[in-house]
Amino acid sequence: MLLNVALFTFVAAKCGYSACHPTKEGVINVHMVPHSHDDTGWKKTVDQYYYGSNNTIQGGGIQYTLDTVVTELMKNPERKFVFVEIAFFAKWWAEATEHQKQETRHLVENGQLEFLLGGWCMNDEAASHYTAMLEQNGLGLQWLRHHFGECGRPHGAWQIDPFGHSKTQAELFALMGYDSVFFARMDYQEYNQRSKDRAIEMIWRGNDDFPQSRDLFTGGLVDTSYGPPGGFWFEGFSVDPIIDNEESDEYNLPQRLNDFIKQIQHYQDQTHPGNIMFTMGSDFAYYNSIMYFKNMDKIIYHMNRLHGDKYHVIYSTPACYTKARNEAQQKWTVKSDDFMPYSNGPQGQYWSGYFTSRPGFKGYVWDTNPVLQMCHHMNLRGGNALENRGDLAEFKLASAFGVGQHHDGISGTEQEHVVSDYTRQLHRGRTACRDITNEVLEKDFEASKGAINCEYRNVSICADTETAKEFTVGVYSPASHAFHYHVRVPVNGSSYDVTNQVGEKVPVDVVPVSDNTKNIRRNRGFAKNELWITAKTDGLDFATFNVKETSDGLDFATFNVKETSGNDVVTSLTGDSNMIENENYKISFGSLGVESINGMPITNELLYFNSSQGYGQNSGAYIFRPNKTDPFIINAKPSVEITKGSSVEFATVTWGSWASQVYRLWKGENTVEVEWSVGPIPVEQKCPWDSKQTCKWGKEVISRYQTAIKSSDTQGRPTVWTDTSGRNKLLRTKDHRACFNLNTTDAETGVAGNYYPINSRIAIEDDSNLFSVLVDRAEAGGSMREGSIDLMIHRRITADDHRGVDEPLMEPGQFGDGLMVRGRHFLFLGKSGSLDDKPMEEKILMKPQVFLYPGQTFQTKSSPLLTKTLDPQLKIILVSKHFGMFNNGRDVVIRIEHLYQVADKAGNDVDIDLTHFLANFQAHRAKEFMAGGDVPINHFERFSWSTGELYEKKSEKTTCELEKLCLRMSPGDLKTVVLEGDWNN
């Protein structure tokens, strides 16, 4: 195989830790770290930032930064520079001259140019799902491995700008083999407390079930800033340079060194003694890097010459700083919670609005993940037949998806023209991947040609199916397991027969397109009805369903639920016409919408907060600051309509012209589907202080679930379980933080300070019951009172919050009057401690990809990529070519996870035979890699840190060993395995 040498053989070089300049004992070592923080989109698009165009918005040009940095580093072998965003570096590398590439390779091998983090971008930690974090980091790390080998590998993470930090992100960095992470943004109250204790650096426990092995040295940057110390911002002539010519009237060396020493002491007062780090750079810095390097050269020379008895100043990197900290053998405190939500000051400065900002784009990014996974699978299947077209399509989408995870991307904190560019790049990548998918479907599954993709089926728009009398629906499932999916197809017929690929009839329902859907699509579609097909799909397989219109009429019953003066529910029919039900749930409805689930009183209201604006801190793309702690109800008496079909029963709750919900119960399902539709959010209303005036007032819309669950702690404070980036979970307590005393006298803390990022699941429970809500995109969520769950689903803000984006979050939407968004929640009600909703997480994340073949019917063959049914305790996150297009190889990388954590006290060990794990592939060799897929786990050992704790090392004897092509998966495991072998095709 071509990759054997590249993957499994490593040559030592003078880079990484071995390239660090030596430190000294008995003095303060000052590590000067030259860097540039380069957003992959924010106020400008990726290309605008790279090329330096559209400078009326913001300056900076990454191509010039890299050009000048390489030139300056070559002048002095002592100089260093760290670079982070591989999306930019790969773009520069593609345009660099061969001479520039040779110089760059030399600098990397000499440890002068060091890559940090190594991701395609610096991803967000609130809205990015952990699988997407792994995807984008793996893309960057494997690009670095291919182009620079061992010396291209980062030793630590650099999350300096994301607006809060996830516990799971720390775990992932540990699993990638990193020794440290550094960031700037820490809640001001936690920072104040830690800085007094000289504890802004700590050991962060990424997973409580795996102490030490998933711990990470974590550094909060001094003054919560990733810029240089005050007075030493050497760019753009903003400060005086170091003038060491004693003959000059401008000579200022003594004063500038004195200023420098004051900054050293300021930094040392907040950290453990012996070492400090000066981050010498900031946003889009070093576009003329001679200014920084020339002045830093002078500082280093003169400080060591004149003050070397107290200070030792060196060019350094975060990795070298981490090494120095580790060698000092100091004892560190341990942090086991996260850094969410982040506030940078009192009186309403909580950055919890971006957990929901731009929900349409958040949904589109999430919706792209299963497309990308399908693309990985199809490129793997297609092999040589696709030549390099599969690699190019896969890379195009992976690149766009990776950039989309940026902390000013999926976060929703970019300008409007930038989110349009993100969306355009994602669409191009999706189109390229669907093209190569169609080729493979035709070859491997004997599918027909001419497949189309209707991306607006969720609002009943698809011109081809609206006019077709017969057509075929193809469904590819990128999920690991068999699921029943419910496919919505816009039609104009009233009755259809649907058969699967073996000729069996499948359950269907035809229902009228609702008025709420018509309000959303307006003049863009003319389907009268929706055909719902219950499609059973196997994991990593393709299935087809033939659809033919028949002459039968619609077969469903509709009931209107109304209120009487006595508040009793009456309907147009007797019996259970105010109720929908299936095998697992009975849900009753009344004048306020849902009233009970399985006999438990449960309500769900669509409410909104008015945004604070015009006084003090505004709400905006980043900040959530309601102007009152209690929200307003959209409509005190929503209308309710119940519809019952053969495979689904649903209730439509309409709160007004711009907000509605549909509760669906499908036969056999153990969750309740709640489809919500919100927008355009009205922003004009009568001014509270003058009813004759009209004010534009932003609104933040929430879905509030109120149950009878006793979810308070012993002190009466509401508690709620939230996920951490979609993987693990944390128990949150209202108005409380585990690591510092939260100031609850600040009124805004009561709401915004209790909203957390939700990426998969939020839940409340007591001794008897558990109620959880699963989401289909990142949302803000919390619990304001006992038994309640809030989820913020949309927001439209008329003011800017002055955090840099310089634009109100108005989102014009398709028609210019405001964005309309449709999403889904999935409700689960069970016994306390139940984990029966866990498999639903994969079903939501890996939703099937639908292909439509209008005017034709045909049957396909089944051809699953997995040779055996995967154990239900496991799920596959990734199956793809290893290194993809970078090495043109045929080895396979598999990222697989145990469904349960050790703390869940569920699940057991599962052994997998990898020899014939994949169809048409025989494995000969397997190695476990770091989570980024770039190096084997036995390539090096991570640093150990002293915390004063004692750990019991667990060792189990097993006959299941990778050398024997057997993979053991235990609770809490997330493993990345590379298979070498032969393909039969």
Given the structure tokens 């889009």, which residue do they identify?
A: 284
Neighbours of 638 (CB within 10 A): 22
Q: Which helix (H) or strand (E) segment is 263 a member of?
A: helix 253-268
Neighbours of 440 (CB within 10 A): 25
Contacts of 565 (CB under 8 A, 6+ apart): none
Q: Which helix (H) or strand (E) segment is 580 a member of?
A: strand 579-581
Given the structure tokens 């790969």, which residue do they identify?
A: 90
- Is the CB of residue 344 less than 8 Å from the CB of residue 188? yes
Residue type, 607: L
Given the structure tokens 């660090």, which residue do they identify?
A: 20
Report the distance separating Cα 353 and Cα 796, nearest Å.
11
**Which residues, in sequence order, are bridge partners of residue 537?**
483
Structure tokens, 454: 């209707």
Report the distance separating Cα 122 and Cα 160, nearest Å.
9
- Is the CB of residue 758 less than 8 Å from the CB of residue 355? yes
- Is the CB of residue 181 less than 8 Å from the CB of residue 219? yes
What single DSSP character describes residue 50?
H
Q: Measured between alpha carbons, how far apart are the two ends of the chain, in Å?
A: 15
My answer on whether omega of the bond before 936 falls inside 30° of 0, hence cis, is no
Given the structure tokens 């996974």, which residue do they identify?
A: 373
For residue 767, indicate whether it is catalytic. Answer: no
Contacts of 928 (CB under 8 A, 6+ apart): 936, 937, 962, 975, 976, 977
**3-class state of residue 397 by DSSP:** helix
Report the distance separating Cα 215 and Cα 203, nearest Å.
6
Contacts of 14 (CB under 8 A, 6+ apart): 109, 110, 111
- Quote the strand ranges of 882-961, DSSP E: 892-898, 910-913, 921-929
Report the distance separating Cα 352 and Cα 140, nearest Å.
28
Q: Which residues of 392-429 are buried (b: 16+ CB within 10 A; e: fewer)?
A: bbbbbbbbbbbbbbbbbbbbbbbbeebbebbbebbeeb
- Quote the strand ranges of 835-973, DSSP E: 849-854, 874-881, 892-898, 910-913, 921-929, 966-969
Residue type, 447: A
Neighbours of 806 (CB within 10 A): 12
**Which residues, in sequence order, are bridge partners of residue 220?**
183
- Is the CB of residue 690 less than 8 Å from the CB of residue 774? no
575: left (phi over 0), alpha (psi -120 to 50) or beta: left
- Is the CB of residue 23 less than 8 Å from the CB of residue 942? no
- Is the CB of residue 446 less than 8 Å from the CB of residue 830? no
- Is the CB of residue 411 less than 8 Å from the CB of residue 40? no
Given the structure tokens 């496919």, which residue do they identify?
A: 487
One-character DSSP codes across 678-724: E-SPP-EEEETTEEEEEEE--EEEEEEEE-S---B-TTS-BEEEEEE
Please state the three-class secondary structure of 474-487 as a single string.
EEEECCCCCEEEEE
The active-site residue, picked from 38, 39, 124, 161, is 161
**3-class state of residue 897 by DSSP:** strand
Residues serving a catalytic function are 161
